[in-house]
Structure 1
């Protein structure tokens, strides 16, 4: 069979540039490439890189679906189905809301694809597709397949050195997909993770787990194995990392450069309202512990939580600058369908927008409780403008000289002048640009 695996065009947020659309390849599609039985021809198509030709001959189409690309995925499916080609879909949105998604596709995959993808391909070949494929009971981390990293040309991507050590998260914050009914949390065998690192043939690694420290004992064993590998790496953790100083020590020793942390808000009552296990009074001790070890911080923030009014924006900006937070990723609170937050807001009649293309954390799709929708949206944009203004960049400059190059590259070339940098990428490949940045930042060749 000839199979097309498609990543739909992403919906860019106001601060995004072409750099965002070409950040890294889809690990989901690379994993399907690994899982496809021999004897089938597989073509990977990323709409962010190339236009989609609906007359491209195929026997089966597979689409990976995140929430905000769902409308585009439906249009893609409709076009291929009109040509008599079956279309199957999977991904985080499909897993969260399979019943709502099913009418748009010939079949859907709920949860991990490792146990079901080969069966879907076989059933499609025999024209006997079932409607729903789901096999998650007692799913083990040992079953998680490695992406086929060498299966595509990575030069169009800024980074292709992305690895997962786990799937899911043990926490169940109301606004996160991990509060959905079909989510799992499993850890990959450490030898598999080490094998992926070796396959990538680079010292610069981006771990993209939902929560790199979801199982502290596992993380400790992994970090011990990373010692001596001379890596430079980044990951996402929760504020609970403060409870594990020995992990922070190991992170420093193994080459951790930055940590993405979900601070979300400075308001404890707002945190409690979404069952986020953070406490504001611990934040500054956490920041000091991380900075003392020469590690930078990317603060993830959510605006629009119940209890946060318009004053949250200047207060948060002042706090970020005071604590020299190196980078910030801000989000407008978005009630993803399938989450506990969505169920609650739906019951309260607070959902104001049904167009899923707007659900990319850059639009107000619900009725805020403590500010107007306009105040929330304008405050969100104001935060980005002020945080990445020259004055703020200078005031937040890391005290450790070794961090300044990577700090300036991100704050200036990626955020402040991202559109100019994206134009530069037309002259050189994204991959070359990423390698150049790593070389300047970390002396990685």
Structure 2
């Protein structure tokens, strides 16, 4: 069969440029490509970087779907189905809300694809495709398929050095997909050697681990970090804030080349944290955590969520002050968004507080519900002004890291990615996104 794998285009947030949509390829599509027998022809199209070729005569289309691209995925499916082509959909939104997807596609995948995709291909060939395929059973780490890195058109992206070492998260915060009924029930890690093989396949010493929680199993993380010591990597990852109580692991991260950690602080208000059952966070330990990371020369990418039920308009000024006072290197902010299928969505729906059902606006940059502690206008305005203040020249200077070797990476993100993102985007379009990404990686390696 001739199979087309599609990543639909997402609508940019107000602060985004193509640097965001061209950051890295879709691991979901690369994994499907790796799972597809060589007897089939595979075409990968990411609509964020290229137009979909609707004139291709293909036998099967598979679309990976997050909530904000669901409407676009339905449009794509409608076109191909009208031509007589079977369309399959999977991904985190399909798993979270399968009932809302069934009518739009010939078949959907609920859960992970490794054990389902080969069966779907066989059924499609035999014209016996069923409407829904599920795999919610426990899967071992050795069953996680490594992506087909050889299928990447590297020139289209800033980075191709992305690796997922695990699936899921041990925590079930109300606003997160892990709170869904169909969420993976256990946290699983790939065998250490499998992840090392992925690093070797990328042929780079600069790696971004994109796991939901790189320390979901701290013992595994320790074993893995011991294994990468000889590689002399520079790497980043996302971790939960309870790493504050894992000093030995932080030391090992420093020793093995950790450059930055993405951490979901979400709120400085303990009541707000408790309202969404983010049990791994302890607000009173935030300052200590930041000091522990900075003392080891590790930068912080802090995530915050605004619009939680205990938030009021003062949350923006309070958060900005904490960010500047603690010299937080980069910040990712979100408006609270009730993803369909999550506990938060069910609660807001039952309370009659969801005001917008246009899923393309569920990208954490729009207010789609009625906040409790402020108006929707105040929430949206505060969210935008916080970004402007964080990345003002004054606050970029105030947050400059105390370790000079971090200045290049820090200024590259704060100036070239955020402050002057539109200009950097034009340069990338004239040269190539991958060339610019390689330039900054090489520049970072000159700094010791």
| TM-score in same-fold range (> 0.5) | yes
Q: 2:18 matched to 1:18? A: yes
Question: What residue is the counterpart of 1:263 in the other structure?
Answer: 265
Q: Distance in 2 between matches of 1:306 and 1:226?
A: 43
Question: What residue is the counterpart of 2:446 in the other structure?
Answer: 443
Q: Distance in 1 between matches of 2:329 and 2:247?
A: 21
Question: What residue is the counterpart of 1:70 in the other structure?
Answer: 70
The correspondence of residues 231-242 of structure 1 with structure 2, limited to 5 A, is 231-242=233-244
Question: What residue is the counterpart of 1:217 in the other structure?
Answer: 219
Question: What residue is the counterpart of 2:91 in the other structure?
Answer: 91
The correspondence of residues 294-373 of structure 1 with structure 2, limited to 5 A, is 294-373=297-376
The correspondence of residues 412-431 of structure 1 with structure 2, limited to 5 A, is 412-431=415-434
Task: Provide the aligned C-alpha RMSD in A.
Answer: 0.8
Q: Distance in 2 between matches of 1:372 and 1:156?
A: 40
**What is the CA-CA distance between 1:135 and the residue it aligns to?**
2.1
**What is the CA-CA distance between 1:138 and the residue it aligns to?**
2.4
Q: Distance in 2 between matches of 1:70 and 1:381?
A: 25
Q: Distance in 2 between matches of 1:96 and 1:246?
A: 36
**Which runs of no fewer than 5 residues in structure 2 stay unpaired?**
none
**What is the CA-CA distance between 1:137 and the residue it aligns to?**
1.3
Q: Distance in 2 between matches of 1:225 and 1:377?
A: 45
Q: 2:37 matched to 1:37? A: yes
Give CA deviations for 1:312-355 in whole Å, capped at 9, x if unaligned.
Answer: 00110011000000000000000000101001111111000000
Question: What residue is the counterpart of 1:433 in the other structure?
Answer: 436
Q: Distance in 1 between matches of 2:167 and 2:288?
A: 29
The correspondence of residues 46-445 of structure 1 with structure 2, limited to 5 A, is 46-184=46-184, 185-277=187-279, 278-443=281-446
Q: Distance in 2 between matches of 1:351 and 1:163?
A: 35
Q: Distance in 1 between matches of 2:446 and 2:356?
A: 47
Q: Distance in 1 between matches of 2:297 and 2:53?
A: 48
**What is the CA-CA distance between 1:270 and the residue it aligns to?**
0.6
Give CA deviations for 1:386-416 in whole Å, capped at 9, x if unaligned.
Answer: 0000000000000000001100000000000
Give CA deviations for 1:22-49 in whole Å, capped at 9, x if unaligned.
Answer: 0100000000000012211110011112
SS of the counterpart of 1:5? Answer: strand
SS of the counterpart of 1:227? Answer: helix
Runs of 4+ in 1 over 6 A off after TM superposition: none
Q: Distance in 1 between matches of 2:136 and 2:114?
A: 10
**What is the CA-CA distance between 1:142 and the residue it aligns to?**
1.1
SS of the counterpart of 2:156? Answer: coil
SS of the counterpart of 1:128? Answer: coil
| 137-146 vs 288-297, which moves further | 137-146
Give CA deviations for 1:106-163 in whole Å, capped at 9, x if unaligned.
Answer: 0001111000111111111111101111123121111000000011311110000000
Using the size of structure 1 for normalisation, the TM-score is 0.99
SS of the counterpart of 1:14? Answer: coil
**Which runs of no fewer than 5 residues in structure 1 stay unpaired?**
none
Q: Distance in 1 between matches of 2:258 and 2:314?
A: 34
